[in-house]
Amino acid sequence: MATIIPGMPILPGRVHIREVGPRDGLQNESITLSTAQKLQLIDALGATGLDQIESGSFVRPQNVPQMADSAEVFAQISRRPGVIYSAIAPNEVGARRAVAAGVDMVQVFLSASESHNQSNVNMGIEQSLAHVANMAAIMRGAGRPFDAVLSVSFGCPFEGDVPISRVLDLCGRLLDLGAEQLTLGDTTGMAHPVLVQQVVLAFQERFPRHPLRLHLHSARGAGLANILAAMQVGVSAFDSSVGGIGGCPFAPGAPGNLCTEDLVHMLHEMGIATGLDLPGLMATARMLEEMIGHEVPSQTIKAGICKHITDNA
């Protein structure tokens, strides 16, 4: 049931969260966890009720050594019924490796700016789109869906503002290639609530029948405010990272993934269901701190759960 607040837009009654810590979080850590540790983390996250967990990436090991064992991770995951274990892939080689490893959903990615695309995958946008077309064929042949992730949709660290028209044009081309879902990324935390609503409303006007997910960062402190702004215009699917770890290693100023337990705490306070076990997420974040050897950005594990929160999972 939607949350109704007098004088405010109707908010969704339930929000769906894709946990990205085992991939987008760990890839930005200086320490590389063992395969066994990654499996422990993924299993603990699955026990909290998450139904989508980004569990690895099939990129060149020399580029992201923290993800070099993704095939081994997928071979050994204790799969929970109903949970989608996804991974990202930058090209056809990565897509074939992901399919062979048993990935449930492959996330293909490119950037809304030429500069970031070059920095991230060492090619231009048109070349990336050609790869996406080939990857789409590979995934269709394997019966696997794909989610297209468009980075720097709200601003580029190299070029500054990114025209909304360009974001929409690229979304259209990705949908034409068969993307079942689009995720717009605020890769370096340049979004603000007004811009989030402008982009989302423009997307909905042009693609009214297509679902949209947002991958928002909190690098400059606006993450949760941007979540609220997005919910006010109908978005109910978001990415977040346990403990708030992670970011993009190929863009300056990119730390600050939204923290899963901070997001869930806020949503439960607002009366919005997530289906997630907040104490379990907090325990997992504390376990993660021990694994990586330093504190995580999570505020909820420092401040605790507000006593008036009821079980709103």
At 295, which CATH number? 3.20.20.70
Q: Which residues contact 302 (CB under 8 A, 6 or more apart)?
A: none
Residue 142's pLDDT is 94
Rounded distance between C-alpha atoms, residue 185 and residue 171, angstroms = 12
Residue 256's pLDDT is 73
Domain tally for the chain?
A: 1
Residue 13's pLDDT is 96
Can you tell me the mean pLDDT for 105-131? 92
- Positions marked catalytic: 248
Instruction: Give me the chain's average pLDDT, please.
Output: 92
Count of other CB atoms within 10 angstroms of residue 224: 18
Question: Rounded to the nearest 5°, which phi and psi values hold at 268?
Answer: -65, -35
List, for residues 210-220, the tens digit of each pLDDT value. Answer: 999 999 998 78
Return the bridge partners of 214, or none. Answer: 184, 238
Rg, Å, the chain Cα set: 18
Q: Which residues contact 301 (CB under 8 A, 6 or more apart)?
A: 243, 261, 282, 285, 286
Q: Is the pLDDT of residue 313 over 70?
A: no
Count of other CB atoms within 10 angstroms of residue 34: 10
Q: Please report, for the chain, how many H helices and E strands are present, in that order.
A: 11, 8
Can you tell me the mean pLDDT for 94-120? 94
Range of 209's domain? 16-299
- Residue 309 within any structural domain of the chain: no
Burial category of 274 from C-beta neighbours within 10 Å (exposed 0-12, middle 13-18, buried 19 and up): buried
- Residue 206 within any structural domain of the chain: yes
- Residue 10 within any structural domain of the chain: no
pLDDT-derived band at 201, boundaries 50, 70, 90? very high
- Residue 237 within any structural domain of the chain: yes
- Residue 240 within any structural domain of the chain: yes
pLDDT-derived band at 6, boundaries 50, 70, 90? low
Residue 246's pLDDT is 85
Instruction: Please check whether residue 130 is in contact with residue 161, taking contact to mean a CB–CB distance below 8 angstroms.
Output: no
Q: Which residues contact 141 (CB under 8 A, 6 or more apart)?
A: none
Count of other CB atoms within 10 angstroms of residue 249: 15
- Residue 8 within any structural domain of the chain: no
- Residue 254 within any structural domain of the chain: yes
List, for residues 23-64, the tens digit of each pLDDT value. Answer: 999 998 989 999 999 999 999 999 999 999 999 999 988 888
Q: Is the pLDDT of residue 310 over 60?
A: no
- Residue 188 within any structural domain of the chain: yes
Q: Is the pLDDT of residue 244 over 60?
A: yes
Q: Which two tokens stand for residue 271?
A: 């009366």
Residue 254's pLDDT is 46
Q: Which residues contact 168 (CB under 8 A, 6 or more apart)?
A: 202, 203, 206, 207
